[in-house]
């Protein structure tokens, strides 16, 4: 069900992108938008992992420095029957984590220094299992494609607003079309953001469930999520809006009105679902 929902939402994002390209330049604009989307997704597919790791100055974590982390990742990877991902650390005190990489063979799990130091054994295991589930389900690739398409729609919408403003005063006959173009330029990016959020939220629920199945201990991740939320308010993570969807808990919670449109489901709901699994 989650997979079908994701396919439909990605199709909707592509449709909006093509439609707004068509409005901006007719059939030629639609073809240009399609080519632009293909190019952006190609770049995202091959280079998004390197870009995000560099953005957070993440470096490979030596096994001698964190043997328990390596033991957990190795055990869970073998259990999930996937290649063991590379393990990176980024030097931030705020506890958080993300996975990246285009497929399980090229996957990376990145942990903040804070999460390694502050999480208990079962909590950290739950977090790692959550990120491994993202790898198994290729969520990192899906999220990157969704973010790329949404960003492109926002860019086109911005350009269309300027085009509409400049064209608006030229003649009265064209004003209706210009107003329609301006309206679409405002609504399309909003719709794209909402769709991207819906994709991200559905994948987070699935990764939580996958963590519970891998560890046979939903309470470990439930406890970790509560702890991560509390710490993130005390120790805000230095993160960007463009990459917030990658993290296990939103690094932007409480920072601005943008948190009302979070890419993550409410922590209370995630914890409640996990604890319901424990009772079944």
Radius of gyration of the chain (CA): 21
63, 123, 131, 219: the active-site residue: 131
Residues 6+ apart with CB under 8 A from 101: 49, 85, 107, 108, 135, 140
Cα-based angle 9, 111, 2 (whole degrees, multiple of 5): 20
Residues 6+ apart with CB under 8 A from 254: 233
Angle between helices 2-55 and 175-215 in degrees, nearest 10? 90
CA 223 to chain centre: 22
Q: Tell me the CA distances in angstroms from 150 to 89, 99, 192, one per residue in order.
A: 28, 20, 5
Dihedrals φ, ψ of 214, to 5°? Answer: -70, -40
Q: In what order do the strands lie in the sheet with 97-100?
A: 59-60, 86-90, 108-112, 97-100
State the Cα–Cα distance between residues 138 and 140, nearest whole angstrom. 5
Residue 63 catalytic? no
Nearest to 108 by CA among 81, 87, 129, 83: 87
**Strands (E) located in 202-263:** none
**Catalytic residue positions?**
131
């Amino acid at each position: 069900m989650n997979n079908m929902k994701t396919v439909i939402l990605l199709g909707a994002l592509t449709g909006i992108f093509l439609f707004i390209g068509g409005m901006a330049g007719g059939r030629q604009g639609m073809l240009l938008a399609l080519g632009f989307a293909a190019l952006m997704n190609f770049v995202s597919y091959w280079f998004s992992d390197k870009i995000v790791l560099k953005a957070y100055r993440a470096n490979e974590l030596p096994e001698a420095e964190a043997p328990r982390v390596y033991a957990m990742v190795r055990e869970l990877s073998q259990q999930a029957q996937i290649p063991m991902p590379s393990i990176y650390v980024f030097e931030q005190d705020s506890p958080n984590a993300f996975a990246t990489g285009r497929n399980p063979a090229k996957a990376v799990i990145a942990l903040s220094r804070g999460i390694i130091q502050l999480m208990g054994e079962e909590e950290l295991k739950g977090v790692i299992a959550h990120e491994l589930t993202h790898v198994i389900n290729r969520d990192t690739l899906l999220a990157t494609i969704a973010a790329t398409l949404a960003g492109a729609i926002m860019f086109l919408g911005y350009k269309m607003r300027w085009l509409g403003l400049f064209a608006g005063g030229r003649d009265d006959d064209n004003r209706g079309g210009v107003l329609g173009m301006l309206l679409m330029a405002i609504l399309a990016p909003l719709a794209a953001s909402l769709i991207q959020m819906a994709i991200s939220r559905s994948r987070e629920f699935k990764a939580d469930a996958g963590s519970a199945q891998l560890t046979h201990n939903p309470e470990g991740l439930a406890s970790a999520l509560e702890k991560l939320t509390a710490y993130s308010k005390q120790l805000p993570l230095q993160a960007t809006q463009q990459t917030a969807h990658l993290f296990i808990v939103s690094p932007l919670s409480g920072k601005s009105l943008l948190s009302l449109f979070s890419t993550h489901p409410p922590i209370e709901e995630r914890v409640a679902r996990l604890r319901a699994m424990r009772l079944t």
